[in-house]
């Protein structure tokens, strides 16, 4: 059962970028949940939390394919070095705005900007596999 995986992970770099992909996918499942917890704790409003999470999810759905295309055109490293600091900055800003009880509209602006920089880690890992395996794609 594990033989195909063993063969894949013997590919140079395979284990390393698979682990990076695993870590890169973690925030996808946790983003909305953390957002809801933060907003409910600060405002007491599940409606506001749900609205922010919904807006964030729509923005992610629109932005991810665009970032994937950018990574294909200019490279993964350049794309990540550009997007990740922006994401960290806007998430930090969002948390500060919530904690300092800033106007609600500013919460939406910051979460839209933060979620617009979510990178498609799965797509990047798939691209790495195609590059690493070359013509030997029988393992996929």
Q: Does any domain span residue 114?
A: yes
Cα separation, 96 vs 115, whole angstroms = 16
In the prediction, which pLDDT does 137 show? 60
Domain presence at residue 94: yes
**In-domain check, residue 68:** yes
Strands (E), the chain: none
> What are the tens digits of pLDDT across the range 75-86?
888 999 999 999
- Residue 60: CB atoms within 10 A of its CB come to 19
Q: Lowest mean pLDDT: which of 6-10, 98-102, 105-109, 114-118?
A: 6-10
Question: pTM surpassing 0.85?
Answer: no
Domain that holds residue 70: 3-133
Residue 138 lies in a domain: no
Domain count, the chain: 1
**Burial grade of 117 (CB within 10 A; 0-12, 13-18, 19 or more):** buried
Coil/strand/helix, residue 1: coil
Residue 140 lies inside a defined structural domain of this protein: no
């Amino acid at each position: 059962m594990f033989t195909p995986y063993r063969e894949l992970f013997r590919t140079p770099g395979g284990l390393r970028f698979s682990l990076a992909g695993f870590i890169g996918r973690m925030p996808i499942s946790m983003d909305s949940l953390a957002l809801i917890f933060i907003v409910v704790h600060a405002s007491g409003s599940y409606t506001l939390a749900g609205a922010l999470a919904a807006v964030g999810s729509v923005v992610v759905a629109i932005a991810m394919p665009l970032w994937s295309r950018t990574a294909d055109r200019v490279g993964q490293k350049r794309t990540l070095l550009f997007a990740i600091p922006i994401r960290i900055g806007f998430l930090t800003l969002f948390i500060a705005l919530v904690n300092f009880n800033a106007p609600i509209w500013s919460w939406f602006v910051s979460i839209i900007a933060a979620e617009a920089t979510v990178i498609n880690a799965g797509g990047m890992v798939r691209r790495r596999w195609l590059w690493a395996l070359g013509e030997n794609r029988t393992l996929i």
